[in-house]
Amino acid sequence: SFLERGGKIRLITGDHLWVRDAKKADEAYRNREDEASQISKNIENEINAFKQTNNYNSLGLFGWLIENNYLEMKIGVYKPELKENDMDGLHHKVGIFKDDNDNILTFRGGLNESDQANRMADGIEVNMSWLGESSTNKKIERAEQTFSDHWNDKSKVLNVYPLPDAV
């Protein structure tokens, strides 16, 4: 699985979080174990142990991913000068997956049933590096650079804050 192969998730989300999600993220970050003990853990045993608990639900999984250093989250908020343009909160979705062979899959967008999604005519675009198309690879490079800029708080449109500080 993704985690068993050393997969890590970095997520930037908007500041409109459910209170229970924000509390769970804050609790999970505070419960993180030190790096030395984290390195020595057996990932398969962690996953199996988690599945056997009563917390096998989306909120429990969310907290478990953070506590065990599989998920790192930051909060993105549009810069104040852009809020005047009727931007309620961070809505766009971008994903980047890379394997051991440097094959990359990116997606941009998503389909959901929210009012904001309906106003914005949500859609999804998927790009795969192994197709070898120049235009696709440029989109992938752009997606990686944009995410890196956001993640490192170098974005022209977002201020990005790490958790748990942002909570």
- Rounded distance between C-alpha atoms, residue 118 and residue 111, angstroms: 9
pLDDT for the residue numbered 162: 85
Answer for the pair 143, 127: CB distance below 8 angstroms, yes or no.
Answer: yes
Q: Is the pTM of this model over 0.75?
A: no
Task: Output the pLDDT for position 140.
Answer: 92
Q: What is the pLDDT of residue 82?
A: 65
Ranges of residues in the chain with a pLDDT under 50 are 35-40
Which residue type sits at 22? Answer: A
DSSP 129: G
**pLDDT of res. 117:** 61
Identify the sign of the CA torsion 25, 26, 31, 34: positive
- Residue owning tokens 């009012």: 115
